[in-house]
Amino acid sequence: MRRQALTPRPDWRERVEALGLVWHTAADQPYWNEAACYRFDRRQIRQIEQATEELYQLCLTAGQHIVDQNLFHRFGIPDFAVPLIRKAWNEEPPALNYGRFDLGYDGVSPPKMFEFNCDTPTSLLEAAVIQWDWLEAVFPGQDQFNGIHDALIARWREIAPALPQPVHFTWAEEGAAEDAVTVAYMADLAREGGVQSLPVPIHRIEWTGLRFADPTGNPIKALYHLYPWEWLVREGYGSRIAHAPNLWIEPIWKMIWSNKALLPILWDLFPNHPNLLEAAFEPLPGDHARKPILAREGANISIVKDGQVAEATGGDYGDEGHVWQRLYDLPDFDGHRPVIGSWIVDGAAVGMGIREAGLITGNTARFVPHVIEG
């Protein structure tokens, strides 16, 4: 595993915009950063694949444990949502069952799980499409760990017969343009998989007294949402979700996997597992990260090294509680510290993207493509 400096293509902005990546620059710095790439050998890629699929199996076991032992109080989940989670977990409604494991990896020792982004995972377009187009242009004939696009189309095709159509696709218009682009890309994938799609911003969805509907009055039969479940259940219509007849993609049980309260439970069930970091609901001695159980884009995280806060981020999260996780020393490439985003679809590892920043990978982190050597 190594970082290689490169000269960006002179027309890279036009190239990525043509593929849908319109938010390629942030604070006058490229978010899509092709001034470098990461190189891996096939053994290292296989190690990431195996860790990703192993972690998915651990999460299945932990999910069943949470349901069986009624541990929902650890997750800040409203009481009315608990029976909905139980029902969805046990009945397994049609779902993509996709997500992104964020991993620490140095190319030598086993990858370590930081968290599982599986409710509203982003950095999808750049991982699935943009870096593949870059590879074909810059390193034609070389390879990349990247079957994300085809895997998601295949999954949509697999669940299409069980979906009431059309499927509405929703996101929050206020905030990051990334969400709108991600939803548009996912709707394209669904259409390629044989699923009709209709876009509807989250604030335009209405409750009719019997069900949710779009602004034209069309009933919402199935809803793909890039809007976190913890926000959905706290909307004014949140408690009505229990009475809505529509199908949700992803299902409400994702609330227990996308919540960092999962981390201490995984450690309790699988102590010293090679792909896990020690985690607890109480402060850990020694170097650690303190994380809110619910947050996005690396907000409200503090890193403690040698008894001092080495780095911290602000934000509006933390009221629901925190977890403490043993600090992982990310590899340092002249100040660039990469985090692997390893994508999984229905239990199979299908590709990865890399974001790099400092000690905390937040919303200013840059996406860097990768290449497989040999």
**pLDDT tens digits for 122-181?**
899 999 999 999 999 999 999 999 999 999 999 999 999 999 999 999 999 876 678 899
- Confidence bin at 362 (pLDDT 50/70/90): low
The whole-number pLDDT of residue 271 equals 98
Of residues 24 and 67, more confidence is placed in 67
The whole-number pLDDT of residue 91 equals 97
Q: Which residue has the tokens 């092709």?
A: 34
Residue 240: which residues within 8 A CB-CB, separation 6 or more?
Answer: 207
User: What is the pTM (predicted TM-score) of this model?
Assistant: 0.95
Average pLDDT, the chain: 93
The whole-number pLDDT of residue 321 equals 86
- Torsion, Cα 256 129 350 63, to 10 degrees, reads 0
**pLDDT tens digits for 277-317?**
999 999 999 999 999 998 777 677 888 888 888 888 777 77
The whole-number pLDDT of residue 304 equals 86
The whole-number pLDDT of residue 149 equals 98
Rounded (5°) CA angle 303-229-49: 60
- Confidence bin at 26 (pLDDT 50/70/90): confident
**pLDDT tens digits for 32-85?**
999 999 999 999 999 999 999 999 999 999 999 999 999 999 999 999 999 999
Separation CA 314–CA 322 (nearest Å):
14
Domain coordinates in residue numbering, the chain: 2-260+329-373, 275-326
What percentage of the chain exceeds 90 in pLDDT? 83
